[in-house]
Amino acid sequence: MARVSIVFFVIAISPALLGQDEAWRARNDRGNRYEGSRAAPVASAPVAELIGLHAYRQPFSPDDALTLNIAFFIQGDASHARLTAREIEREEFYWMEPYPQAWRPGWNRFGPWPVRDVLRGLNIGSSNLAVLARLDGFPTGGGRIAPVFVGTLNTAVAVSEYQAFFIAAKKLESVSWQLKKADGSVLQKGSLGRKLPQTPFTIKLPIGSLPAGALRLELTCELESGESYLAYDFFHQPGVPSER
C-alpha cells in the first residue's frame, strides 16, 4: 500500500483573499480580537485539519453571562504562535482571532472574550467551540501546537484529559492514533472508523497524573489511495495556575 507522509501544508493566499480578510476584520473588530461569521470555510487541509486541542473547556450555553479567557503554555520559540477559535459543526462559519500580539515562552493568556458579543447571537455554546494555539504559524497539517484552557479561569485548573478536534478533508476509511512521550514510548492509542469529507471527529486523550513534558500525537489516516501521516508536537503542563 502506498504511503504518503505529510508534516505540514502551507496555503498560498492571493492578494484578493488578503483584501477580503482585511475587510472582514474591519467589520468584525471587537476591541481586542476579530470575531464573527465568515462567508466560506477559513482553511482546508489535504487530509484532516486539527481545529482545536483542549486541556480544559468550561461548559457554557450561548445565553450564559460569561466572559471567557484562554490560557496556553509555550515551550520554546513563541514568535510564530497564532490563536484561533471556530465551530466544530460548521453552520455559521464562526471565526475568532485575537489582535496580533507578542506571545512569549511560558504561560500566555488572552481575554476578555464575552459570550454575549457574538457567540450568543450565533447560538454557539461550549460543545460546538474549538480553540487552537498553533506555534508554527499558518500550516494546516501536523506541526507544533499548544493545548488551551478555555473558561473564566479564575482558579487553578488541572488537566485530566485532552480533546483534539479534527475535520476530515477527504473520505477517510479509518484513523488510527498514538500519543507518545519524547522517548517514543506509547502512552495511549486507538482507532476510529470511516469519516466522510467535512465530518468532524474527536480524539480523547486521558492523561492522569503525567508530569510535565513533551508529547506527540500521531495520526495515520487510511484513504482509498493509501495512507497519510500527521504528527503534532506539544508540551504537557499538568494544569494552569490561577491568574495573579
- For residue 161, the domain's CATH number is 2.60.40.2550
Buried b / exposed e along 215-240 (16+ C-beta atoms within 10 A) = bbbbbbbbeeeebbbbbbbbbbbeeb
**Average pLDDT of 202-218?**
95
Torsion of CA 52, 58, 64, 69, to 10 degrees: -70
Residue 18: what pLDDT? 44
Q: Tell me the per-residue pLDDT of 130-186, one tens digit each, with 9 for 90 and over.
A: 999 999 976 667 899 999 999 999 999 999 999 999 999 999 999 999 999 999 999
* Contact call for residues 170 and 223 (beta carbons, < 8 A): yes
> pLDDT at position 9, please?
39
Give the pLDDT of residue 14. 38
Residue-range definition of the domain harbouring residue 78: 3-240
Higher pLDDT, 7 or 75: 75
pLDDT number for residue 53:
98
pLDDT of residue 138: 67
Which pLDDT score, from 0 to 100, does residue 40 have? 60
User: If pLDDT is split at 50, 70 and 90, which confidence band does 48 have?
Assistant: very high
Reported as a single tens digit per residue, the pLDDT across 59-105 is: 999 999 999 999 999 999 999 999 999 999 999 999 999 999 999 99
Question: What are the b/e assignments for 55-88, b being 16+ CB within 10 Å?
Answer: bbbeebebebebebbbbbbbbeeeeebebbbbbb
> Which residues are paired to 201 by β-bridges?
166
Mean pLDDT, range 120-128, rounded to an integer:
98
Confidence label for 222 from pLDDT (cuts 50, 70 and 90) = very high
**pLDDT for res 107:** 97
pLDDT at residue 193 above 70?
yes
Segment 22-42, tens digit of pLDDT? 999 999 999 999 999 987 655
Predicted pLDDT at 142: 84
Domains contained in the chain, number:
1
Whether residue 12 is predicted with pLDDT greater than 50 in this model: the reply is no
What's the confidence (pLDDT) of residue 4? 41
For residue 21, what pLDDT is reported? Answer: 84
Distance CA 188, CA 154 (A): 31
